[in-house]
């Protein structure tokens, strides 16, 4: 089993990291960045799950 993350997974993880960094530093506030963080986190989990499934199937 050779598990690697796709570009989509890396992109979603990077987006989640940058959004978390911006919100935690106080650069952006409000409900929209929080919703975007949640969307990026769910997307990253789903994308990693798809990558893992693909690696298991061959």
Tens digits of residue pLDDT in 7-49 = 999 999 999 999 999 988 988 888 888 898 899 999 999 999 9
pLDDT of amino acid 2: 76
Helix (H, G, I), strand (E, B) or coil at 45: helix
Both tokens of 34, joined, read 């929080």
The CB-based long-range contact list for 52-58 (8 Å cut-off, 24+ gap) reads 52/3, 55/1, 55/2, 55/3, 55/4, 56/1
Q: What is the reported pLDDT for 33?
A: 87
pTM: 0.80
């Amino acid at each position: 089993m050779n598990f690697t993350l796709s570009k989509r997974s890396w992109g979603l993880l990077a987006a989640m990291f940058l959004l978390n960094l911006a919100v935690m530093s106080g650069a952006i506030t409000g409900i929209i960045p929080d919703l975007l963080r949640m969307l990026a986190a769910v997307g990253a989990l789903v994308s990693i799950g798809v990558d893992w499934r693909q690696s298991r199937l061959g």
